[in-house]
Structure formats: C-alpha cells, structure tokens
Chain A
Amino acid sequence: MTKDEDLIWVEKVLSGDTNAFAILVERHQDAVYTLIRRILKRDDEAEDTTQMVFLKAYHSLAGFNRKSMFSTWISRIAYNSAISEYRKKKNKVHLGDDKLMNQLATNLADENDSYEKESLLAQLETAVGQLEPEDNALITFYYMQQQSVDEISQITGLSVPNVKTRLFRIRKKLQEKILQETTTQQF
C-alpha cells in the first residue's frame, strides 16, 4: 500500500465522492479491526468501535494534514479510541479470551508446522492476549502491521527510544510467560 494511493481516495472523498471512502475502509479495515480487537479483546465491542473509528475518520477527514500516511493517521484514531473505550469498560473486559486465542492460534499455525511449534505459537498467543492493552497495541503495530518504530512513535505519542525499549521489555515479558507456562506444564 502506498501513501499516494490513499491520498487519491482521500482527495476524492473531500471533493464529495462519498463512495471513495468505501475504498479506504476496504484497505484499512483489517488492520484497524485487528488493533482494536487486540486491545478490547471482545468481538462485539471491537466491531462497534471499528465502525465508530471509521465514522470519526470520515467526519475528521478535512483535518487530515497529509504530513503523515493515512494508515498512520487512522491507526492513531483507532489506538486512542480503543484505549479510551478499554478504560471506560475496564471492569467488563475479560482477559484471556479463549475464542480469540483459538482463532489466532489457528491463524498462526502453518499446515507444515510441527505440533510443538503450534503449541508454542498458541502459548505465545495466550501470552500476548494477557498483555496490557498498550503493550498489545505495540505488538500489533510492529509485528502485524509492520509499522516502523517512527510511525509507532507518531501513533502512540511515545518517543522512539521508548518504543524500542518497550518492545524489548514486552518480548522479555512474553519470553518469561512462555517459559513459566512450559515449566508448569512439565510438572
């Protein structure tokens, strides 16, 4: 996906072609939904919030300054909205959603992978699901959306060194969780 392609559709929407927004939704819905789903951990809430994010983006499109990529801009809206929604409904959120874990573990498992690797990936997915929403979002940006550290810094408002440090700590945390899980299983 290139910056110019998104900007073409943005310009079309701003000049009155509402249908052009459908293209932007089509191009970014998976990334936005994944991010929000990982933060909120619930299908229904994630779907509602994703809709809300795209509507907000549509309303605010005139304020998109084009200095950043459209994907960065919408990720920022999605991140802020999801974190805000998570804080509002903090008490209702159930960590370690089994449905999510199974679905993602299935996504992860390559047909040719060994059982051990599948099991490892499932453990990793469970561990990722137990992370704090902000940490989960960082993992989603960096590993699933292949955003650069600079882009993540723009989206989250964290400094570049802070993003790097947090990513390192998150990997360390995941490593410890998996080792702990493995040790528990062995005994």
Chain B
Amino acid sequence: MNDNFENKEIDQLLRQMMPMKAPPKLKNNIMDQISAEQIHNTTAATMTIEKLLLGLSLLTAMIALLFMVDFGFIANGFTDAIGWMNTLLSSDQPTFDQIAETTAQLPAMALMVLAAIGLLLLVERLIIRRFTNVNYFV
C-alpha cells in the first residue's frame, strides 16, 4: 500500500463491502413465532371500535366505583349536612363544631374519589399499552 493512502481510497474500498446474508431459517422462525404467539395485532379497522369499547367500559367502571365506594360517604355527607342545617336552625348547639366535623370529611372523600380516578387511569394506560401496539422504538 502506498503512503498517500487517502480518505477517498478508503471510501472506494468501503463501497465494495457487501451486506451479509441472513441465516436461511430466519424468516420461518419469525413467522413461526408470530403464529405460535397468536399475536393480537390491532388493525386500523378495529382500532376505533376497540377504543370506544375501552372508553365505555372505563366509564361504567368509574360510575360503578363511585356508587359502590363513595355512595356511603356521599349519603353520610348529605345526612350530616341536613342534620347540621337542622341544628343550626332549631337548636342552640354551637355550630362551629358541626362545620368542622363536616369539613373534616371532605378531604377524605376527595382523596377516595381521586384515588379511584387515578386507579382507573392507570388501568386504562395498561390496557392501551397492551392492546394498541404503542410504538416504543420511534
């Protein structure tokens, strides 16, 4: 090789390099794995329907959760509020204690509702990741 072996010559040599051949059974292995796993690949046609069904089921679950978990709190809250109003209007009982008691329940109720919504959003995210082929690579 002569001493003035240039960048351009390397360029020319590199252009002669050939791509390698993939192993002969590679394609079959890939297709076998796809068949074996019975991958549920969401198609463009079913994507919208699946998303609608997912939304509907999550809405139903959220309503059910609110009723099942929080209905008692809501009912108690109403009862307390009505009782407190009756007390305020018809007795001499100090009202500040009642106000404090009712107010003290609000953060607990709010936390329960927020936790329920958070849980549902988490479940939604997991379902979307599993079924809608999110592209993690691009």
Contact = CB atoms under 8 A, between A and B. Distances in A.
Interface of A: 13-16, 18-19, 21-22, 25-26, 29-34, 37, 43, 47, 50-51, 54-56, 58-65, 73, 76-77, 80-81, 103-104, 107-108, 110, 116, 120-121, 124-125, 128, 139-140, 142-145, 168, 171-172, 174-175, 178-179, 182
Chain B interface secondary structure, helix, strand, loop or mixed? Answer: loop
A25 B27 contact: yes
Nearest to A146: B15
Interface stretch (B35-43, B69-77, B90-98, B102-110): B35-43
Nearest to B21: A30
A143 B16 CA distance: 8
B50 to A, nearest CB: 11
B26 A47 contact: yes
Given A56-B137, A59-B41, A179-B5, A30 B19 contact: yes
B56 interface: no
Interface of B: 1, 3, 5-7, 9-11, 13-23, 26-27, 29-31, 33-35, 39, 41-45, 47, 132-138
A128 B15 CA distance: 13
Contacts of B132: 62
A62 B5 contact: no
Contacts, number: 143
Contact of B41 (A19, A37, A61, A110): A61
B137 A81 contact: yes
B30 A54 contact: yes
Nearest to A154: B138
A107 B34 contact: no
A108 B134 CA distance: 40
B137 A77 contact: yes
